[in-house]
Amino acid sequence: MILEAGRWALAQALSDYRMWRAKGLRSLRIAVNVSPIQLRQRDFVATVERVLGGAGEAAAGLELEITETLIMQDIKANIVKLKAIREMGVEVAIDDFGTGYSSLSYIAQLPISAMKIDRAFITNMTGSPDDLSIVSTIIGLAHSLNLKVVAEGVETEDQAKLLRLLKCDELQGYLFSPAVPAETIERFLRENKSLPG
C-alpha cells in the first residue's frame, strides 16, 4: 500500500508539473518524499525512470527528498541508486538533516544537491544558542560542499530574518504557505508570472 502510494505521488507530481508547463506557466521544482520501502525496492531507479518517461524537462523540475536516517541505512547501495537518479537530471535532497546519524565522511560522497534542515532546529533556534549553532554549522557545511540549504518549518519573521542573515538559500513553512492542492499552485503561478523562477 505504501509502495503504491509513493509511486502515485511521484507520478501525480510529474503529471501536474507537465500540465503547468504545457499551459505556459513558469518552471518550478516539485519535491517528492521517498519512503523507506520505495528506496529499498530493487527497481526504484527504474521506477523513477519510467515515471519520467525520458522527459528531461520534467527531470529538471523534480527533487526527491530522502531522510538522512534512510540514506544511512544502506549507504553504499543508496549512493549507487542516487547517482543513477542524479544522472537522469533529478535533484536529490537530504530531508530532516541533523536528526539522523550521518557520518561526515559519507556526506561528501552523497550525490545530493541540497540539505533540508529539520524543523526542530528551526523552531528552537531563536531561543536556543545550541540550535542556532547547529543551524549555522549545517549551512556552512552545505555551502562548503556546494549544496543548497533549505530551512524547513519556518513559522515566524524572526526565524526568517535569522536564516537570511545566515545565508540560508531557501525557506519553507507556514510563514509562507501551508501545503496546498495542485489547483491552488496553478492559480498562484498564473497570478504571479513575474516572480523569479
Cell 502515485 found at: 8
Q: pLDDT tens digits for 123-139?
A: 999 999 999 999 999 99
Separation between Cα atoms, residue 54 and residue 57, nearest integer Å: 9
- Overall pTM surpassing 0.85 (yes/no): yes
Distance CA 14, CA 19 (A): 8
β-pairing, 170-171 vs 62-67, is unpaired
Q: Which pLDDT belongs to residue 117?
A: 95
Phi, psi at 171, each rounded to 5°: -125, 140
Q: Which domains, ranges and CATH numbers included, belong to the chain?
A: 2-191 (3.20.20.450)
Give the residue from 32, 25, 27, 58 showing the smallest Cα distance to 179: 32
pLDDT average, residue stretch 64-77: 89
Query: Is residue 78 a contact partner of residue 71, using CB atoms and an 8 Å limit?
Result: yes
What is the average per-residue pLDDT within 147-173? 97
**What's the grid cell of residue 192?**
504571479
Alpha-carbon gap, residue 49 to 80, rounded angstroms: 15
